[in-house]
Amino acid sequence: MIFDYWEKNPDERQFWRDKVQSTVRAALDDHVAAVRLEGDLWAYFVERSGVVSPFRETAGREGLARTSMRNLAEYLIRLWTEPRPKPKRARSD
């Protein structure tokens, strides 16, 4: 639902694209970035549920019990950032 909302609201999508990219740059790895983004995405959902129709309807029907946004965070990282190079293994000869 969040991603669909962003498709219809390019300013919001651009804000989140920039946020994802800056979070990934600042994090040690993508796992850390996903954890940080997951919390931000949930806070965004809660905030939007007070003012935007699709979010408000879902929150009214299902409540605001904490829902994981981890999959969305990981998807956005894969979609909007370049993959990090894999660390090279030391050869053991």
Q: Residue 93: pLDDT above 60?
A: no
Condensed to tens digits (0 to 9), the pLDDT of residues 55-76 reads 999 999 999 999 899 999 999 9
Residue 28 has pLDDT above 60, yes or no: yes
Q: How confident is the model over 7-32, as a mean pLDDT? A: 96
DSSP codes of every residue in the chain: -HHHHHHH-HHHHHHHHHHHHHHHHHSSSHHHHHHHHHHHHHHHHHHHTTTSHHHHHHHHHH-------HHHHHHHHHHHSPPPPPPPPPP--
Between CA 91 and CA 93 the distance in angstroms is 6
Report the SS3 class of residue 34: helix
What does the pLDDT read at residue 92? 63
Q: Where are the domains of the chain?
A: 17-80
70 phi and psi, to 5 degrees? -60, -45
Confidence bin at 30 (pLDDT 50/70/90) = very high
pTM of the full predicted structure?
0.85
